[in-house]
Structure 1
C-alpha cells in the first residue's frame, strides 16, 4: 500500500497597508522574508510533491511561488484552485478527499482557520494555530485520498522556530 502525504503551507504574512480586496492583498515584507526562510530551510527535508495546489488569493500564490522556487519544484506541478480559497476547512477537506490517487504527495497553499482545522482534524498533534508561513506534514496510511482520516503529523515548522 502506498501511503499519502499532505504538505500544508499557510500563506505568509499579508499586508493591510493597501486598499485592496481580500483576494488581492499582497504579502508584507516580513511575510516574504519568512516564506524564504522556511522554504530555504526545508530544501531536501520534505517529501517530493507530486502535485501542488494553491488558493487563487494573491498572498497564497505569492507564498507558493517562493516555495516552488526555493524547493526547485517545477511550476508545471502547480494548479490554482478555488477550493482552497476557504477559511473554515470544509472546502479543503472536500478538495483533499477528491484528490487524484495518482498523487502520492500533495502540497497545498491556503488560509486559516481552514488550515489549522484541517491540521487538527487529520493530524496526530494538536496545533493551536498554524502561523503564517507555517508548514505541517501529515502522513496517511491509505492508498486513496477519499479514505483519509486520522494521519500522523510528521513535521510542524513555523518561522519563529528558525529565528532563535
Structure 2
C-alpha cells in the first residue's frame, strides 16, 4: 500500500509587489494554518517517509512548518523544480519516480496543478484544493511506478477552514 498526500501551500502574502511570484512568503494566516495542519497529521498518525516540495518560498515554508509538527527533518525535504509550474503530468511523473522504500509521501505544491493531479489520480473531480488543504490518496500498489490515472482512492480532503475561523 502506498499513500500520497498532496498539500497545497498555505496562504501567501501579496503585500510586497516587488517580489517575484516564486519569492512570495506566507502571510499571518498561512503561518498559523501550516503548523495546525501538521499537528492534525501527527494526531492521525500520518507521519511521512518522504517530503517533496516546490522550490517556491511559500511552499518550502509550508513544508518546513508541517515537518516541524510531524517530526520530519526539514533538511531532508526534497526540493523538486517540476512542482513549480510543471503541470499535472509533472506531478504524476514525480510520484511514479518515488523510491518504493517510501510508503507515505507528502508533496507540497500549487494549484491548479495539485487539484488537477488529485482528480486525475482518483478518477473524479475534487474541485480546487483550498490553501493548506491536504488530499490523502491510497494506492493498493507495491510500487509507485504503477500509479496511474484513477488508480487511487480518496482517503480524505482536509483544510484549515474546516477547523479554524479565517
TM-score (norm 2): 0.90
1:37 positional shift: 2.3
Q: What do residues 73-116 of structure 1 show as CA deviations (whole Å, max 9, x unaligned)? A: 12253111112113531211111111111211111110011110
- Report the counterpart of residue 15 of structure 1 in structure 2: 13
Aligned length: 162
The question of whether the paired residues in 2 share the 8 Å contact of 1:87 and 1:112 is answered with no
Distance 1:120 1:60 in 2: 20
Distance change >3 Å, CA 73–CA 158, structure 1 → 2: same
Unmatched 5+ stretches in structure 1: none
Q: What do residues 111-154 of structure 1 show as CA deviations (whole Å, max 9, x unaligned)? A: 01111011111126631110110011100011111111221111
The question of whether the paired residues in 2 share the 8 Å contact of 1:87 and 1:113 is answered with no
RMSD over aligned CA atoms reads 1.6
Which has the higher mean CA deviation after the structures are superposed, 55-64 or 85-94? 85-94
Distance 2:28 2:22 in 1: 18
The question of whether the paired residues in 2 share the 8 Å contact of 1:87 and 1:111 is answered with no
- Report the counterpart of residue 27 of structure 1 in structure 2: 26
- Report the counterpart of residue 66 of structure 1 in structure 2: 65
Distance 1:125 1:44 in 2: 28
* Regions of 4+ moved over 3 Å: none
1:35 positional shift: 1.3
Distance 1:104 1:23 in 2: 30
1:41 positional shift: 2.4
